[in-house]
Amino acid sequence: MQEHGVKVTANRLVIAKELAEAGRPLSLSELETSLETIDKSNIFRALQLFNSSGLVHSLEDTGEGVRYELCHSHDHSHDDDLHVHFYCTGCHKTFCLESVPVPEVAVPEGFTPHSATHLVRGLCPDCKG
């Protein structure tokens, strides 16, 4: 947190730990359910701070809201933690496919991309059954 200029507090540590242990992007409501001792507004404010400081990535996966994951970039001034995400249409969870890089997309002259996301939809191994 300190590398990203985020003041360390007990609540922020708990939220960051929950994101780290989840191993996949979580929504605000998922965090609220798992962190019963922290109210929704405090979780939301921490996530907004984490996002603006580059400590977390935010992604919109299916119109169900924003999900958050810890950024594992090696340099807080340059995000090199870009990977594909998989949304399961069965259990409605989003998974990081960290070994699958986001495909490079050629954009027309004059456009300057700053970030990219790539979302694959389907069934996870548990739901495929």
Number of domains in the chain: 1
Task: Give residue 14's pLDDT.
Answer: 96
CA nearest 50: which of 17, 80, 83?
17
Determine contact, residues 83/100, Cβ cutoff 8 Å: yes
Q: How confident is the model at residue 11 (pLDDT cuts 50, 70, 90)?
A: very high
Residue 85 DSSP code: E
The domain of 23 spans 2-128
CA nearest 49: which of 94, 109, 4, 107?
4
CA nearest 68: which of 33, 116, 28?
28
pTM of the model: 0.72
For 61-89, what is the mean pLDDT? 70
Q: Which residue has the higher pLDDT, 18 or 113?
A: 18
Determine contact, residues 117/85, Cβ cutoff 8 Å: yes
Tokens read off for 110: 């004059």
Tell me: the pLDDT tens digits for 41-74?
Answer: 999 999 999 888 888 878 876 666 788 888 765 4
Task: Give residue 81's pLDDT.
Answer: 55
75: domain CATH number is: 1.10.10.10
Q: How far apart are CA 68 and CA 77, in angstroms?
A: 19
Task: Give residue 78's pLDDT.
Answer: 47
Tell me: the pLDDT tens digits for 112-126?
Answer: 887 777 888 899 999
